[in-house]
């Protein structure tokens, strides 16, 4: 295969057959309830309901899909017994039906071909596409070993494919939810408390007296029960402290908004620890009983006074002191929220450590209104032969990063680039449920890696940008049209939920469990897929757990009683933390032994040069990443992102709200499309801000094509976390261009 085959294909060439952004997101759940009641009252008469859990984001809210007598989907409503959603979906979950209804969906398998010297895709039968994929799996195994076939995945399809890859002999697996999302937080908290934060976060928001959000914009970040609990906590008089350079929705609900200078959070948190210790307002009993290294910490932070931090963060010493005292007053019912998308500046595991240590000083881990002890229920494994042992996999590929606990997508991509010292050559890749052109930074690396691959399969529901790089594209049906694995999630009480198809798959789309089985059987791995329909697996598992598919179809969610002990630390006993020492590690010997700082330090990060602004990005309540931009229902609510610009900057550049501008970054990368300016005091003068997930280049996305800017293409500089390999993405700077730089150039 020549490398030119890898050329990005715009599927468009193939000829194949009112909510304002400023609406208070915290109220958006309420907006659904009237409609919910209306439908609920009529349910018995006309509608059938089928249980599912939402796939619009990864909070996995359990829901009911209502279909009418003709079998058409009418509405999706939250399951009342579900601790992830408390009976209400967020606007994205309600709009999930748009995924099913989107006419732009992938409709048949596609195979890359050359017609008259031009690369294009042709429609193919499942038989042909699956035979070709199976042949490539065999060839790669024979020529390079199964390890050379990598899987990059996200979401529910991932589990089925992970099973296929492990049966085949490859553990070369990674997902953007680790090194582009929450990896550093898990490392930082595990080093301190011995356990990952995990999802949903075990933050006891509903009972908290003080919630501290550090660059976590709950309310725009719409993770369901978390938003609802925050709303309740506010009603109950909880104090919200928001540290964000931007006036976020959460900031607007806060008693204290600290508009910090970007990239200086560690300095603020060191100063907070200084105040808690100097003023003797930390939880002395808890620390004496449970923590290791307090004296070292006391000594370490003694130099980091609020006056010291002021010069770095721009937050006044009296504000630092007052907020620290507020937290101490609320302790232990206080939460320094660990955040979620935490890959910012490359020292992110250390920033997560500072957050964890602050929680320790406040005694909030294992305390009511702080962090509860989560529990989940184990879903028994459907019997299959043991997996093969690969010679290498994600661990070896990421070996440079000693505390990486999952595959690092960017390292897997690097492994695809041939070089003499590449010990782990990746030659083929399957990408499923992730639009890596938007979710993984450093486009140059991505394109170089893809170019070098011998074979690439993409499995998606939509003709997203990523499909244009594939040799074979397989259309998955949406979550409303398929069975998937049982959702078992950690929460206050364990619960499970099922996903049952409400309708038949549209077009010629199929569920991934079926694709995995088909490929597996072609590879002689039939024993690993010993069922005709995935529902047999679910039913078997449910029966082991004392339920059945029949029961779950009626209830959707099953809650279990806790078995692991109380929700919070029993004050009469001595809790043993799952760390090496059994205690909270304020001083980390583990980090020290690996050559890192045992206690966090502030390091200065680059600042935007003259004429450039820091590129800041985040979430909008009605969209999830790039996946919803074309969703007819959600596109209706917000069609494109806009560029938040401070009035001072607007004045200097002479730009106005509504004006289209382009961006050029520090590496001379120019945005493919323009974005409309929104002049607002809500953003600092040194930054600009946009919502992630827009700027689609694929014309087959008829609603999303060319709308807004893709932040990812401007993230060419990445600050890698040396501890676990996270890709810090907030150190990119852009200048604003007012004249179309692409005039006469086709993009
Ligand atoms: N620049 C930048 N990069 C980021 C982020 C950011 O804010 N800015 N956020 C980061 C974070 S926090 C995360 S978690 C990741 C998210 O990364 P991704 O999960 O890759 O995000 P999406 O862009 O939504 O891509 C999802 C893809 O899955 C497809 N899809 C949706 N449903 C299904 C399905 O049921 N089956 C299949 N087969 N495909 C489906 C969608 O069409 C889409 O192509 O991105 C990270 N990368
Ligand atoms: N509606 C919606 N909700 C979602 C998602 C979605 O796509 N859509 N995705 C979900 C996922 S997977 C994730 S990981 C989460 C991510 O959501 P969060 O973890 O809450 O948010 P981030 O994207 O990390 O942070 C965005 C905020 O950080 C601020 N910020 C930027 N730089 C700095 C800085 O230097 N210091 C401080 N203190 N703040 C800074 C930005 O101004 C912005 O308000 O959202 C989840 N919820
Ligand atoms: S938070 Fe919203 S989008 Fe995410 S799973 Fe729940 S309803 Fe779906
Ligand atoms: Mo994420």
The per-residue DSSP string of 453-520 comes to -SEEEEEESS--GGGGG-SEEEEBPPGGG-----EEE-BSS-EEE----SSPPPTT-B-HHHHHHHHH
DSSP symbol at 86: T
Q: Which of 155, 152, 714 is nearest to 441 (CA)?
A: 714
Instruction: Note the CATH architecture for domain 613-737.
Output: Beta Barrel (2.40)
Q: Does domain 106-178+402-537 have CATH number 3.30.2310.20?
A: no
Cα of 236 from ligand 1 centre, angstroms: 35
For residue 5, the model assigns a pLDDT of 44
Task: Assess whether the C-beta atom of 715 lies below 6 angstroms from ligand 1.
Answer: yes
- How many Å apart are CA 180 and CA 723, to the nearest integer? 14
For residue 358, the model assigns a pLDDT of 98
Task: Assess whether the C-beta atom of 341 lies below 6 angstroms from ligand 2.
Answer: yes
Cα of 426 from ligand 4 centre, angstroms: 25
Task: Assess whether the C-beta atom of 92 lies below 6 angstroms from ligand 3.
Answer: yes
Ligand 2 atom closest to the Cα of residue 263 is 35
From the CA of 25, the nearest ligand is 2
How far is residue 722 from each of residues 182, 241, 343, 402, 579, measured CA to CA in Å?
15, 30, 12, 8, 21
Contact assessment for residue 333 and residue 208, using Cβ atoms and an 8 Å cutoff? yes
Task: Assess whether the C-beta atom of 61 lies below 6 angstroms from ligand 3.
Answer: yes
Cα of 182 from ligand 4 centre, angstroms: 6
Cα of 155 from ligand 1 centre, angstroms: 9
For residue 489, the model assigns a pLDDT of 84
Place of tokens 């100097």: 278
Ligand 2 atom closest to the Cα of residue 218 is 20
Task: Assess whether the C-beta atom of 408 lies below 6 angstroms from ligand 3.
Answer: no
From the CA of 99, the nearest ligand is 1
For residue 46, the model assigns a pLDDT of 74
From the CA of 61, the nearest ligand is 3
What's the pLDDT tens digit per position in 349-395? 999 999 999 999 999 999 999 999 999 999 999 999 999 899 999 99
Atom 40 of ligand 2, residue of closest alpha carbon: 215
Contact assessment for residue 480 and residue 94, using Cβ atoms and an 8 Å cutoff? no
The number of beta carbons lying within 10 Å of the beta carbon of residue 14 is 16
- How many Å apart are CA 475 and CA 610, to the nearest integer? 47
For residue 307, the model assigns a pLDDT of 98
Residues by chain with Cβ below 5 Å of ion ligand 4: 181
Per-domain residue ranges for the chain? 106-178+402-537, 183-374+579-593, 613-737
Probe residue for ligand 1, chosen from 468, 625, 698, 719 as the CB with the greatest number of ligand atoms within 8 Å:
625
SS (H, E, C) 516-582: HHHHHHHCCCHHHHCCCCHHHHHHHHHHHCCCCHHHHHHHCEEECCCCCCCCCCCCCCCCCCCCCCC
Query: What phi, psi does 138 have (nearest 5°)?
Result: -65, -45
Task: Assess whether the C-beta atom of 439 lies below 6 angstroms from ligand 1.
Answer: yes
- How many Å apart are CA 512 and CA 66, to the nearest integer? 23
Task: Assess whether the C-beta atom of 732 lies below 6 angstroms from ligand 1.
Answer: no
Peptide bond into 486 cis (omega under 30): no
Task: Assess whether the C-beta atom of 181 lies below 6 angstroms from ligand 2.
Answer: yes
For residue 588, the model assigns a pLDDT of 98
For residue 17, the model assigns a pLDDT of 27
For residue 602, the model assigns a pLDDT of 98
Task: Assess whether the C-beta atom of 355 lies below 6 angstroms from ligand 2.
Answer: no
Task: Assess whether the C-beta atom of 176 lies below 6 angstroms from ligand 1.
Answer: yes
Query: What phi, psi does 104 have (nearest 5°)?
Result: -85, 0
CA angle 143-148-149, nearest 5°? 110
Q: Which residues of the chain have pLDDT under 70?
A: 1-45, 744-747
Bridge partners (DSSP) of residue 584 are 291
DSSP symbol at 674: -
Task: Assess whether the C-beta atom of 433 lies below 6 angstroms from ligand 1.
Answer: yes
Contact assessment for residue 729 and residue 409, using Cβ atoms and an 8 Å cutoff? no
* 183-374+579-593 homologous superfamily: Dimethylsulfoxide Reductase, domain 2 (3.40.228.10)
Query: What is this structure's pTM?
Result: 0.95
Bridge partners (DSSP) of residue 705 are 696
């Amino acid at each position: 295969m020549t490398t030119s085959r890898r050329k990005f294909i715009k599927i468009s060439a193939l000829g194949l057959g009112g909510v304002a952004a400023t609406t208070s997101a915290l109220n958006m759940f309420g907006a659904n309830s009237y409609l919910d009641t209306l439908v609920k009252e009529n349910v018995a008469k006309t509608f059938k309901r089928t249980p599912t859990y939402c796939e619009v984001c990864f909070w996995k809210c359990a829901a009911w899909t209502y279909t009418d007598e003709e079998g058409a989907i009418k509405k999706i409503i939250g399951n009342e017994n579900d601790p992830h959603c408390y009976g209400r979906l967020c606007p994205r979950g309600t709009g999930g039906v748009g995924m099913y209804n989107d006419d732009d969906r992938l409709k048949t398998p596609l195979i890359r071909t050359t017609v008259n010297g031009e690369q294009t895709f042709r429609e193919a039968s499942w038989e042909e596409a699956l035979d070709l994929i199976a042949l490539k799996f065999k060839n790669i195994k024979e020529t390079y070993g199964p390890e050379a076939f990598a899987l990059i995945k996200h979401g529910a399809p991932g589990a089925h494919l992970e099973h296929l890859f492990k049966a085949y002999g490859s553990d070369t697996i990674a997902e953007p939810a680790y090194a582009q999302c929450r990896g550093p937080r898990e490392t930082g908290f595990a080093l301190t408390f011995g356990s990952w934060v995990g999802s949903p976060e075990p933050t006891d928001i509903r009972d908290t007296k003080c919630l501290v959000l550090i660059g976590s914009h709950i309310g725009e970040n719409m993770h369901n029960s978390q938003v609802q609990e925050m709303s309740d906590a506010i009603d109950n008089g909880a104090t919200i402290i928001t540290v964000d350079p931007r006036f976020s929705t959460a900031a607007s609900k806060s008693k204290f908004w600290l508009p910090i200078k970007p990239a200086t959070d560690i300095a603020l948190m060191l100063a907070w620890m200084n105040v808690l210790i100097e003023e003797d307002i930390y939880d002395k009993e808890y620390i004496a009983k449970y923590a290791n290294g307090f004296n070292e910490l006391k000594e370490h932070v003694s130099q980091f006074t609020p006056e010291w931090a002021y010069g770095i963060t721009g937050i006044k010493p009296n504000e630092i002191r007052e907020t620290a005292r507020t937290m101490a007053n609320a302790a232990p019912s206080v939460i320094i929220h660990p955040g979620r998308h935490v890959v910012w500046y490359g020292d992110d595991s250390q920033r997560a450590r500072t957050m964890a240590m602050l929680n320790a000083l406040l005694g909030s881990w294992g305390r009511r209104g702080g962090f509860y002890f989560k529990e989940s229920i184990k879903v028994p494994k459907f019997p299959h032969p043991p997996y093969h042992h690969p010679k290498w996999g994600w661990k070896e590929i990421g070996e440079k990063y000693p505390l990486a606990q999952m595959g690092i997508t960017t390292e897997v991509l690097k492994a695809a680039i041939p070089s003499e010292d590449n010990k782990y050559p990746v030659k083929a890749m399957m990408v499923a449920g992730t639009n890596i052109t938007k979710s993984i930074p450093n486009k140059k690396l991505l394109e170089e890696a893809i170019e070098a691959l011998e074979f690439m399969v993409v499995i998606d529901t939509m003709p997203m940008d990523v499909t244009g790089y594939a040799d074979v594209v397989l259309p998955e049906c949406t979550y409303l049209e398929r069975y998937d694995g049982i959702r078992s999630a950690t929460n206050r009480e364990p619960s499970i939920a099922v996903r049952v198809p409400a309708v038949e798959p549209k077009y010629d789309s199929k569920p991934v469990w079926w694709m995995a089985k088909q490929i597996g059987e072609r590879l002689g791995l039939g024993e690993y897929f010993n069922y005709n329909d995935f529902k047999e697996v679910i039913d078997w598992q449910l029966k082991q757990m004392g339920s059945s598919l029949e029961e779950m179809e009626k209830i959707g969610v099953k809650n279990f009683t806790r078995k692991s002990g109380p929700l919070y630390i029993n004050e009469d006993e001595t809790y043993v933390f799952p760390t090496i020492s059994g205690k909270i590690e304020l001083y980390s010997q583990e980090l020290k032994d690996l050559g890192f700082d045992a206690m966090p330090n502030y390091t200065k990060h680059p600042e935007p040069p003259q004429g450039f602004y820091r590129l800041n990005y985040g979430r909008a309540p009605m969209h999830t990443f790039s996946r919803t931009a074309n969703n007819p229902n959600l596109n209706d609510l917000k069609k494109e992102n806009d560029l938040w610009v401070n009035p001072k900057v607007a004045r200097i550049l002479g730009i106005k709200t509504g004006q289209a501008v382009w961006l050029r970054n520090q590496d001379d990368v120019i945005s493919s499309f323009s974005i409309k300016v929104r002049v607002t005091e809500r953003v600092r003068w040194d930054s600009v801000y946009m919502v992630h997930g827009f700027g689609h280049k694929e014309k087959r996305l008829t609603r999303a094509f060319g709308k807004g800017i893709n932040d990812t293409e401007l993230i060419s500089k990445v600050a890698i976390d040396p501890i676990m390999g996270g890709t810090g993405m907030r150190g990119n700077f852009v200048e604003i261009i007012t004249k179309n730089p692409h005039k006469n150039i086709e993009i």
